[in-house]
């Protein structure tokens, strides 16, 4: 059952532009960053209940995805992390495919496996984790 509600654009213009381009072209444009694949996560705002769309690096394994709250190694989590913690029902668009998923924050060994997959997909994640004391949150998305 797709998410419904009013869309509220991100206040990060570059990220908003990329998410909107991927969605507007049904995945035909905007799906890369530094030559690596980008997906669009739709989440429900934890405070506003508005629909938020976030461009994120594509980390996929056997039909599941990981989304990584790196925010370039900033000291604080991106706020979409709090959206997923409150409402784990999300949508993910990968290219022209868009489906509903349940997001689960992973820890310990499971997180280690997905962290390795994430760094393999986007090596910058390793440097981002070195930049910050916060443990970068990782969520695994399983198809609903």
Q: By CB under 6 A, tell whether 34 contacts ligand F42.
A: no
The single residue among 22, 31, 38, 92 that binds ligand F42, judged by CB under 6 A, is 38
Does 39 engage in binding with ligand F42 (CB under 6 A)?
A: no
46 is an interface residue for ligand F42 by CB under 6 A = yes
Q: Which of 68, 92, 138, 140 binds ligand F42 (CB under 6 A)?
A: 68
Place of tokens 């910050």: 132
Taking the complex as a whole, the smallest distance from the CB of residue 112 to ligand F42 amounts, in Å, to: 18
d(CA 140, CA 67): 7
Binding-site member from 22, 66, 69, 88 for ligand F42 (CB under 6 A): 69
Q: Which stretch binds ligand F42 (CB under 6 A): 20-28, 38-46, 87-95, 102-110?
A: 38-46
Dihedral of the alpha carbons of 116, 132, 52, 103, in degrees to the nearest 10: 40
How, if at all, do strands 51-57 and 59-61 pair? unpaired
Interface residues with ligand F42 (CB under 6 A) are: 10-12, 14-15, 18, 33, 38, 45-48, 50, 52, 54-57, 68-71, 78-80, 82-83
């Amino acid at each position: 059952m797709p998410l419904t509600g009013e869309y509220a654009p991100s206040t990060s213009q570059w990220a908003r532009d990329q998410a909107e381009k991927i969605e507007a072209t049904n995945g035909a444009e905007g799906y890369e960053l530094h030559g690596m694949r980008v997906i669009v996560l739709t989440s429900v705002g934890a405070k506003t209940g508005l629909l938020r769309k976030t461009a994120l690096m594509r980390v996929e394994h056997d039909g599941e995805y990981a989304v990584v709250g790196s925010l370039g190694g900033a000291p604080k989590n991106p706020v979409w992390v709090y959206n997923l913690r409150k409402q784990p029902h999300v949508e993910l668009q990968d290219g022209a495919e868009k489906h509903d998923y349940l997001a689960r924050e992973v820890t310990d060994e499971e997180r280690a496996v997905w962290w390795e997959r994430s760094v393999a997909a986007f090596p910058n994640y390793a440097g981002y984790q070195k930049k910050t004391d916060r443990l970068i949150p990782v969520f695994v998305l399983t198809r609903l």
